[in-house]
Amino acid sequence: MPLDAQHSRSMSRSAMKAEMLDAETELALARAWRDRRDEEALHRLITAYMRLAISMASKFRRYGAPMNDLIQEAGLGLMKAADKFDPDRGVRFSTYAVWWIKASIQDYVMRNWSMVRTGSTSSQKSLFFNMKRVQARLEREAMASGDTLDGHQLREMIAQEVGVPLRDVEMMEGRLSGGDFSLNATQSTEEEGREWIDALEDEGARGDEIVERDHDRRALRDWLGAALTHLSPRERFIVRERKLIETPRTLESLGEELNLSKERVRQIEAAAFQKMRRYLEKHAGEVQTLLA
């Protein structure tokens, strides 16, 4: 017998031996935990209802998850229920805990069903756990009445039955139609066959794009360098410090270094840009040739 099965059977037997709580005892334990954070009271409450958690976990075994993991998730849901339970609402703890246990197990199953996230909204959860059942019932009813349903009609009826958009049904049908497979698996039965990952498009730049980009960058550097040679030394200094270094300097700091006002530095900068623009417009043909 697998270790997983042995362990789950052992947990089930232990849970079945736990005490059965009457309403008054349950209420006292819940209040002791809520008001005094009495861990002994919490332990008794959790232990008494662990059989409920295990029973609910067993209903999800058909999704392929290990029973031990399902029981663990059910236990976590039970503990969340105990932490949030208000004993003064007049509801039995078991009634309240069912929702938390089920939600915890469903979240676990959906997280582990596929590497691709299956869904997390209430409508997607409803589809995931009810779609096959609803589909089977609709197909049985159609067969009994002599009707024939095509795929689109069936999906529309499922969407109406579950109360979700048609696109959600189509998405979930695709997710549930097959499991994950490795991108390193070969596309054929041959050992040296190409792997699926080799068929994915490389999102990086192609070789010709890299060459073209590097060529343009060199051409633009030459173009800018030629325009800068037609500036005075002071103009080149201001343009370089304002635009061509990693951390541009302020007009004020340049003015202090050159013993000029901030406004004067701005005027020199603007005049330098005008000179560069005129040079580039005048030599537009040479620039085009440079970039060709």
Instruction: List residues bridging with 195 in a β-sheet.
Output: 186
Per DSSP, 64 falls in state: T
Instruction: List residues bridging with 186 in a β-sheet.
Output: 195
pLDDT over 70 percentage in the chain: 76
Q: Is 92 within 8 Å of 82 (Cβ atoms)?
A: no
Q: What is the pLDDT of residue 148?
A: 79
Rounded to whole angstroms, the Cα distance separating 246 from 76 reads 53
pLDDT over 90 percentage in the chain: 27
Rounded to whole angstroms, the Cα distance separating 247 from 239 reads 13
Q: Dump pLDDT digits (tens) for 185-211.
A: 665 555 566 665 565 556 666 667 777
Q: Token match 């676990």: residue?
A: 108
Q: Is 96 within 8 Å of 34 (Cβ atoms)?
A: no
Assign residue 83 a region (left: φ > 0; alpha: ψ between -120 and 50; beta: otherwise).
Answer: alpha
pTM as predicted: 0.47
Q: What is the pLDDT of residue 186?
A: 63
Domains of the chain: 3-113 (1.20.120.1810), 116-200 (no CATH), 207-291 (1.10.10.10)
- Indicate if the alpha-carbon torsion angle 17, 23, 28, 32 is positive or negative: positive
Q: Chain-wide mean pLDDT for the chain? A: 79
Residue 31 has pLDDT above 90, yes or no: yes
Residue 35 has pLDDT above 90, yes or no: yes
Cα distances from 65 to residues 60, 76, 117, in angstroms, run 8, 16, 16
